[in-house]
Structure formats: structure tokens, C-alpha cells
Structure 1
Amino acid sequence: MAPPLTARVQLLLLRAAGFLIGLIGQVARAFGGPKFHARTTGPVSEPLLLLSGIQLAKLIRQRKVKCIDVVQAYINRIKDVNPMINGIVKYRFEEARKEAHSVDERLAEKLEDEATLEKKWPFLGVPLTVKEAFQLQGMPNSSGLVNRRDAISKSDATVVALLKEAGAIPIGITNCSELCMWYESSNKIYGRSNNPYDLQHIVGGSSGGEGCTLAAACSVIGVGSDIGGSIRMPAFFNGIFGHKPSPGVVPNQGQFPMAGEAQEIFQCTGPMCRYAEDLIPMLRVMAGPGIKKLKLDAKVHLRHLKFYWMEHDGGSLLMSKVEQDLILAQRKVVAHIESMLGASVQHVKLKQMKYSFQLWITMMSTKGHDGKEPMKFVDLLGDHGKPISPLWELIKWCLGLSVYTIPSIGLALLEEKLKYNKEKYKKFKAVEESLHKELVEMLGDDGVFLYPSHPTVAPKHHVPLTRPFNFAYTGVFNALGLPVTQCPLGLNAKGLPLGIQVVAGPFNDHLTLAVAQYLEKSFGGWVCPGKI
């Protein structure tokens, strides 16, 4: 019997496997995808598109702006810009116009005063986009899987229903990666989404269509989900805000695929938006009864918070080094907090962060209460039918005959190698528990942790195939079960978004959300693509 491989050799083999899959993917980069003469989408000229969701709702309630004018402004923008970014994959324009007219007709009757309207419908008349993985009645719900091309939602996902009840008007559904398990949003049904700041760069995943749609001012508020960074990576790459709530606060029901029993607590549904002031109102609506677990009404005194920061994960062999632009942006945040708030920002070295990828795999390897293994990815690709043969699909892909994307085929090929046996699971479960304890004790109920969102700014299309493990910069906080808000920090010299993750202890979402609003005021928040 061959001796077991050392952990270091196993890590190197995983990295080599990811690199080989990436080389295959470069073929697609060389020959696939549309080419654009423009580098970015055009700037916004319509003032209504530059207002937050709660500002729009207020103007509509006060009858200073007609809802139909707001909805039509967004429809016009989508028609101009979406062909370039391919963020929205199915429009809902006619239904949205009808619903907007209904809002205007109701307001014309003047049956309720403004305070009553705000309480009942905090997002009255506000355009909304929804990740295609969520059910939106009458709209596709394939998650980019060809086998589910004809799946049409007969009802709304819980969060979608709650937002509609709050007055929001869905105008379309947005692209995602195949089965929501990759950080580039591309699939065989809808094609590839493009970054509005540079069309040759990725939008992230799996909520990438939502990220680029919001960034391009084709929507103002949106719904995303996150089990490894699927809200935060698109928010970072597209320069918007995204929040991964504390686990168990916002309901996940009504999306496909749903995480397995043991993983569901780590799958988080949350808000994505251009303006930080929309985060808390959105979270209040989306959480429903779960909002009682949070302290959103608590006043946050930023000067009294404890701030901690870390420049990188400590040197994992699997991850890329953090780019200097991102380190400098983080240092500017630290310097600003120290000088303007007078708060102390402590640099920390959490040695176990270098095991971020392993901790995420540990989470995904956890068995259910009945000892049942998590759903296999090859089974999901077959849509609960006959599992696919990854090797055969790889051969077909090389011939241009597979209905699956290369990231999905690669994950299916590596799936069994990535899962941990009992011994390895026990080892990294202990690491996860130790790191969780260290972070929770450090943060307490009055601390936040500043951490890179990703090792690089938005890479070019297909480059993630050569860096498959970089998502662990976000995925680790799913494994640790901590709330995180992704905050934009302007653009780098090449015009691509910079950003940072703000992390807090369990159920202290109010702290990260308060910091997000402060950083928006201090660093400008979302920057309109194409703006000179």
C-alpha cells in the first residue's frame, strides 16, 4: 500500500489540478465570448437612477415622482446597457409597468398618509432584480442548468414575496454561475455576464448577474445568496454593497439548489444594493420574523468600537498573494479610522486563517443529523436524475458537445478528492472551532474585523480557472458563521473596483452595517461606470 500523501503535497496537487483545468479554460478565453469596442458601460444621465431605494420610495409616497416614471427610467437604462453586460437574463417589463400604474392609481386616491404608507410599504414602487436561482412567479428558475431550461416558478421565494409585500416591483431576473457553484457567472443557457467597469473582466459569482446589474444602474436593490462568497465577491468585483447576514436570520426557502441539511445554516440569503442606506431596510424586510435575532435598532457609536485588521490570510499555498492596490486601500481605511474617529485599529495575525479553504471544505463535508452525506455535485448536475460522468463530459466539452461549463465539470472531477475523510474532517473541524472561538472572543459585541475581499480585483474572464481557491477569502466566514458586509472603496488606476470585508461577531450585523454607511460617506461608495 502506498504511503499517505503529506498535507503539503496534497495542497500542491490540488493547486496543480486547478491550474490544469484553468489551462483548458484558456481555450474559451481565446476563442469564446463577445468582443466589445467599448471598455465600460456609459454613465447615467437620468437623475432618478442615482437615488437609493428608500429615497425613491419616499418620493413616490410623497407623490413627487410617479412610480411609472421610475420603472420606465430603469427599463430604458436596461435596454441601453444590458446587451453589453448580460446581467438581466429575463425581463419583466410589462408586468412591472402594470404594477407601477397600480401604485400610482392607489396613491392618487390618497387613502393613506405618508407615515402609514412607509410602515406598510417601505419600498413602495422601487425597482427590484432577483438572482435567477430564486423563485419569482412566472419566471425561469434554472440556475443556469440546461436540464432545467424549462423550469418556471409557480410561486415566489420567501424573500421575494416579502420584498414584493413591502412594495418593491421586480423588473427582471439576473444571471448566475451554473448551479451557483463558481465565482464567474456564465452558463450554457444565458451565456456570460460582463463587468460594467471593464467588459473583459468577470462579475463574480454566483450572484454575479445581480452584481453587475446593480453596478450598471440597471437596478437599485437586489436579492443574492451566499455559501462561499456568492454575495460578497460580486459586490466587491462590481463596486457595490452586499451583506451576508448571521446564519438563520433570513429565510432561504425558494431557491435552487438548496444546500444540504448540514450546510443550510451556512447558506445565507441577503441584500445587494448600490447605496449603504438601503442595507438595513432591506434586511428588515427580507428577514421577516428572523429580524428579532438582530439588534438593528441599537445605536452604534463608531468611536467606541474596537477595530482589527489583517492584510492577508497568512500565506496559504492555495491562494494568490493579495495585490498591493488592495493592501493600500485597506491601509487607507485603517489610517482614516484612526485619524478621523480617534479609534484604535489593531493589526492582528490569526494564524489559522491560512486554512480558510480547508475550513470551507470541512463545512461542505459535514453530514446531516441522520449521518447522510451531503448531496453530490454530480447528482445536482443531473438534476436529481442520473449522475453525470465528469470524464466523459470533459471529452465532450473539448469537442464542443457538452451542455455543462468547464468549472462545473472540473468541480465534478475533483469532488471526491476535495471531500474529507473522518480523520481529516476531525482535524479541520477542530481548527474551525478554535478559529471561531478566537474571533468571537476578540470581537465580542463591540468589535469589527477588516479583511480583504479577495486576493485580486476583478480578474479577466476565465482567469478564475487558474485560481480556483481564491474564493476562500470570503468562504471562510461562511464556515465560521459570522456576519459580513462587503463595502466598495473606489476604483484602482485601471478603473476596477476596490473594496473590503467588514466582519462582526454572531448576530452583530448592526455593527458591520453601521461601518458600511461610514465608509460610504468617507470613501464615496459606488462609482458610476463610465464616469470621467
Structure 2
Amino acid sequence: ASLTCAHLLRALLGAFSLLFQLFSPRRPAMSGKKLPAVSNPLLLLSATQLAKKIRRKEVSSVEVVQAYIDRIQEVNPLVNAVVKDRFDAALQEAAQVDKLIEEETGGEEVLEDRLPLLGVPLSVKESYCLQGMPNTTGVVSRRGIVATVDAPPLVQLKRAGAIPLGVTNTPELCMWWETHNHLYGITNNPYDLERMVGGSSGGEGSILGAAGSVIGVGSDIGGSIRMPCFFNGVFGHKTTPGVITCENQYPPASGRDKEYLSLGPMCRYSEDLLPMLKIMAEPNTHMLSLNTKVDLKKLRFFTVPDDGGSPSTYPVSRELVEIQSKVVERLEADLGVKVQEVRFPELHYGFRIWDTYLGLSDDEGKPPKPFAQLMGEPGRPAWPLWELLKWMVGKSDHTIPAIVMGLHDMLRVFKPSPYIIKQKEKLQRDVEELLGTDGVFLYPSHPRVAPKHHHTLFRPTDFAYTAIINTLGLPATQCPLGLGKEGLPLGVQVVAGKLQDHLTLEVALYLEKTFGGWRDPGAN
């Protein structure tokens, strides 16, 4: 019998992980190096607090923007998260903000209503089009391509007064969960520079965790917001699909991507998630109940401990099992609710379900764009097998995960398994029936804390813990829960029914208050 796509990908990466050890160049050792602690108190305020201080003239936007520029210059040589800055332009825009505030006659309330993020710095995932900034997603052949427009969510954030500082690193073509490419290099975890930051919004997660940014934007088709936020100890929200437009990103959505691709905010402080989402979701904010007050005591809570022991994924580590149990204990003690443990046998097939549905054609019968074609743009499609041979002698412009993804795409069995389709449909029905409009469940963001660099090659499908939530089309918020025994961030994702994003955002506020939220990596 032919191998399934899941087995094929695992077999390919299992074989190539050995090749990687043999042929990959050695990277400079970061052992013993550590990020400096935060020294400027402005870096310890949320975007909401900063905006208020700027409006009240308690601090200038120039001071805030300069504080973040200084921090990026301090930490970026260690984490390699920001790949292109616009510091001079940002300072000019901050000066214009300060002038506007001096001349405003309508009062603080007018500014808050019209420009809720006025003067606050922002970092941006490089796959988003940000006018004047590169838009390559780490593809060497796209070197020199510069965005001529802003992606719609950035238009809204800039209209709200946010000031972009620069763009951050991604994996090649955003289709891997370690942030590494041959154009910008590899991005390091601020809590341990020998470890990975996740992907594909990995540069965002890293610079936020390093206190080089306070708010950022990411996109998520298999965990690309939640994994980096988990590994780097910050908050991230995967919005219900279809609310925030995915226009003006690279790679562009194709096939049925739009059903599973979500955009959303990434923040160090949970109170910034809701105002950012309100802004990014325009003009579709009405689809969500973001102004509805949530009483946590009236919600129904569930906990899903794991995927049932799928052979495709690592078992959930003991410390992550324990921290999720502590969340359950605190919810029950603080809110007087009963958190019910539930299990879904279909989660066993999480990766296969995600991989199957991502390969389906859209309603017009158009299949997803071939990965090899994306690898070669704006020129001719790449030949993955040829690129593998070139890589073995150090001549390929592509990373081994991208090459393997190209091979996997070429060998994919396009006729979906009826059994897998049946499993997904049953899971969808059961989850939606369980959650309704007033239920949330806890689920691990990943089976282990941030792995060492390149260890994704040995367990390539561990991202199934986040990916299955994409296939179900549900909103989810990753919440940090302190640091584990190795000083690495712990966390959990909170999942709600479709369009019930406000529920998970309220739980995020509670969890930050209860478990402390983000921790300064330089102070640990």
C-alpha cells in the first residue's frame, strides 16, 4: 500500500534530518550568551497604557519609539528577529504625532476614539505588505522585492495611529515551524538563544518576547501565530477565519487556504488583544461580539489534555500537563465553575486531517498553488529533487524544510482519504456541539516547550496541536503561563466556537492576572 501523506512527510524528513547533520554548516555557538534585562520602564507598559500616556502628554511618542529602537538595537544582534527597520521614518512619524497632540483641541477622549493607538510602535511580519519594506518571506529569488502597498490590517492599524518600526523574519515561504531562511538567516529564542522561536510568525514572537516590540501582527494557517507566541512567552490570537482579510500577503492564499488562514494580533500584554482585533477586523468587526461583556462564571469550561496519543506527535510533556491542570484548578477555585475533561478520538488524526484539507481545491476547482512554483518565483518553478542535490554540496538557495515540502507536494496523493474526511466531519460536529456560543476548551499549544534549533526535522508533525484548530475554523488564543524548569515559557491555547473570539480574549485577561503573563527573559 502507498504511504499516506503524513507518513511520507515523516519519512522524508526523517531521512533528511540525518543528511542535515552531515551537510549543514555549523552556526556560531550562542551558549552562555543572554539577553540584557529591560532597563527602560516604558518597555514594561502595554500598548493601551502607552497610548494613554501619549495622549495625556505624560510621555512623547518620540520617547516611546526611541525606547523601542534602542531595545531592538540592543537585542536584535542576538535574536535576529527584525530583518529590515524603518527607524528614521518611525521617528519622523512620532514627531508628527506629538505635534498633532499639541494642536488637538478636542481633548483626550476625541483622540482615544479616533486614534486609539496613536504614537504606539508596532512590528510587522515580513510576509505582510508594508509599503517600502521587503516582502520576500525569505525566498532568495525574491530578494529586492519591496511592497508598494500596505496589507489591509496594516492600513487600519496605521489609521489608528500605530507606527511600524520594521519587519520580522519568517521561515522560507511561511510553511515551516522554525524561522530560518537563506536570505535573513535563523531567528533565536530570547529565553535561550540555542532554541527555536517557532513559525511562521517567528520573528514577531521573538522580538515581542525580547521586549523589542509591544504589539505585532501575524498570520496563522497551522499554528503560525500560536506556536511562536507559546515558544516566546507572549499572547497571540488566531481570529475566526474570514473576519480579517488576507489580501496583500505573500504567499497568496490559494486552494481552500482562506478557510483555514487567520490573521490576528500578537502582544506582550493581554489587554492589547481586544483593541488590536477591533482595529484589524475593520470593516468586518460587526461579525464578532467584541463589545459584549463576558462573565467568566457563566461560561462552560472544558479541558482536552492531549490528542489521544497520536504516533505522529510527541506525548505532551509532564510540565505542560501539570500547568494545564493548574489552570483547571484555578478556574474551579476562583470562578466556582466545573471544568470537564473531554477527549476527541479524531484528534489522533490531527495532522492527516490538516494536510488533507490544505491540499483540496477551492469551490471553483482550482487546486493550491504548487509549492515548487512558489519556491522559484518570480522566475521559473524550482525542481525540488535538483535543489536537494545542490543543497548537499552547499549550492542551494533553499532550506531543507522547503525542499522537503516541495517534494512532499509533488508526491501528495490528491484524492483525499474518505476515512480522513469522515474523521474531520465527525470532529467538527462534536466540537461545535460541545462549545456552542458559551463554551471554551483548553488544549496544549504544543507537546513540548521550545525545542533546540532544527529539532523540528526529527518530529515534523508536532504542530498538529495547533493545525487541527485551523481546519476546524475556530478562534483560539495562546496564553503564556510562566516559565518551566529550564526557564522556557509554558502556555496553553484557549479555543471557542466560531465567531466567539471575545470569549477566549476574556479568558486571556484572567490567565494573565492569575499566572503573571510575559516574563522579562533578561531577568531570569
**TM-score, structure 2 as length reference:** 0.98
Partner of 1:447: 439
Partner of 2:479: 487
Partner of 2:26: 32
For 1:469, the aligned partner's letter is T
Partner of 2:120: 126
Distance 1:340 1:377, change over 3 A: same
Residues 51-92 of structure 1: CA deviation (Å, up to 9, x unaligned)? 000100000001110110000001111111110000100011
State the shift of 1:37 in Å.
Answer: 5.0
State the shift of 1:420 in Å.
Answer: 3.8
State the shift of 1:17 in Å.
Answer: 2.5
488-497 or 110-119: bigger deviation? 110-119
State the shift of 1:417 in Å.
Answer: 3.4
44-53 or 33-42: bigger deviation? 33-42
Give 1:360's match in structure 2, choosing from 351, 354, 359. 354
State the shift of 1:378 in Å.
Answer: 0.7
State the shift of 1:384 in Å.
Answer: 5.4
State the shift of 1:441 in Å.
Answer: 0.4
Residues 483-529 of structure 1: CA deviation (Å, up to 9, x unaligned)? 00000000101110000010000000011000000000000000110
State the shift of 1:197 in Å.
Answer: 0.1
State the shift of 1:176 in Å.
Answer: 0.3
Asked if 2 retains the 8 angstrom alpha-carbon contact of 1:129 and 1:170, the reply is yes
Distance 2:122 2:456 in 1: 29
Whether 1:45 aligns to 2:60 is no
**Equivalences for residues 10-21 of structure 1 within 5 A:** 12=7, 14-21=9-16
Partner of 2:223: 229
- Secondary structure (helix, strand or coil) at the match of 2:203 reads helix
Distance 1:97 1:13 in 2: 50
Asked if 2 retains the 8 angstrom alpha-carbon contact of 1:310 and 1:450, the reply is yes
State the shift of 1:320 in Å.
Answer: 1.1
For 1:530, the aligned partner's letter is G
For 1:25, the aligned partner's letter is F
Give 1:371's match in structure 2, choosing from 340, 362, 365. 365
Partner of 1:101: 95
Whether 1:278 aligns to 2:260 is no
Distance 2:191 2:255 in 1: 38
State the shift of 1:288 in Å.
Answer: 0.3
Whether 1:257 aligns to 2:255 is no
Whether 1:427 aligns to 2:416 is no
Asked if 2 retains the 8 angstrom alpha-carbon contact of 1:28 and 1:462, the reply is no
Distance 1:499 1:28, change over 3 A: farther
State the shift of 1:6 in Å.
Answer: 7.5
Partner of 1:498: 490
- Secondary structure (helix, strand or coil) at the match of 2:131 reads coil
State the shift of 1:5 in Å.
Answer: 4.1
State the shift of 1:14 in Å.
Answer: 4.3
Distance 2:431 2:102 in 1: 53
Partner of 2:292: 298
For 1:457, the aligned partner's letter is V
Distance 1:296 1:459, change over 3 A: same
167-176 or 317-326: bigger deviation? 317-326
For 2:314, the aligned partner's letter is S
- Secondary structure (helix, strand or coil) at the match of 1:459 reads coil
For 1:336, the aligned partner's letter is R
Partner of 1:525: 517
Give 1:307's match in structure 2, choosing from 301, 318, 342. 301
Give 1:329's match in structure 2, choosing from 301, 320, 323. 323
Distance 2:462 2:163 in 1: 35
Give 2:503's match in structure 1, choosing from 511, 514, 531. 511
- Secondary structure (helix, strand or coil) at the match of 1:137 reads coil
State the shift of 1:25 in Å.
Answer: 2.6
Distance 1:71 1:330 in 2: 37
Asked if 1 retains the 8 angstrom alpha-carbon contact of 2:37 and 2:523, the reply is yes
Asked if 1 retains the 8 angstrom alpha-carbon contact of 2:8 and 2:408, the reply is no
The total of aligned residue pairs comes to 524
Partner of 1:344: 338
Give 2:176's match in structure 1, choosing from 175, 179, 182. 182
Residues 201-257 of structure 1: CA deviation (Å, up to 9, x unaligned)? 000000000000001010100010000000000000000000000011111111100
Distance 1:56 1:304 in 2: 32
For 1:119, the aligned partner's letter is D
438-447 or 102-111: bigger deviation? 102-111
Stretches of structure 2 that go unaligned for 5 or more consecutive residues are none
211-220 or 252-261: bigger deviation? 252-261
For 1:516, the aligned partner's letter is A
**Equivalences for residues 228-247 of structure 1 within 5 A:** 228-247=222-241
Distance 1:297 1:375, change over 3 A: same
Asked if 2 retains the 8 angstrom alpha-carbon contact of 1:258 and 1:264, the reply is no
Distance 2:292 2:487 in 1: 37
Asked if 2 retains the 8 angstrom alpha-carbon contact of 1:241 and 1:275, the reply is yes
For 1:141, the aligned partner's letter is N
Asked if 2 retains the 8 angstrom alpha-carbon contact of 1:223 and 1:271, the reply is yes
Asked if 2 retains the 8 angstrom alpha-carbon contact of 1:310 and 1:347, the reply is yes
**Equivalences for residues 386-401 of structure 1 within 5 A:** 386-401=380-395
Distance 1:278 1:148, change over 3 A: same
For 1:369, the aligned partner's letter is D
State the shift of 1:419 in Å.
Answer: 4.1
294-303 or 504-513: bigger deviation? 294-303
Asked if 2 retains the 8 angstrom alpha-carbon contact of 1:361 and 1:420, the reply is no
**Percent of aligned pairs sharing the same letter:** 51
**Equivalences for residues 45-194 of structure 1 within 5 A:** 45-194=39-188
Residues 432-467 of structure 1: CA deviation (Å, up to 9, x unaligned)? 121111001001111101000011100000000111
Distance 2:412 2:338 in 1: 40
- Secondary structure (helix, strand or coil) at the match of 1:499 reads strand
Distance 2:471 2:70 in 1: 41
For 1:477, the aligned partner's letter is I
Distance 1:420 1:77, change over 3 A: same
Asked if 2 retains the 8 angstrom alpha-carbon contact of 1:12 and 1:317, the reply is no
**Equivalences for residues 194-233 of structure 1 within 5 A:** 194-233=188-227
Residues 244-295 of structure 1: CA deviation (Å, up to 9, x unaligned)? 0001111111110012042112111110000000000000000001111101
Q: Give the CA RMSD over aligned residues.
A: 1.4
Distance 2:236 2:42 in 1: 22
Asked if 2 retains the 8 angstrom alpha-carbon contact of 1:68 and 1:104, the reply is yes
Distance 1:106 1:457 in 2: 45
For 1:244, the aligned partner's letter is K
For 1:401, the aligned partner's letter is K
Distance 1:223 1:120 in 2: 21
State the shift of 1:13 in Å.
Answer: 5.2
Residues 300-330 of structure 1: CA deviation (Å, up to 9, x unaligned)? 1111111111111011111111111111111
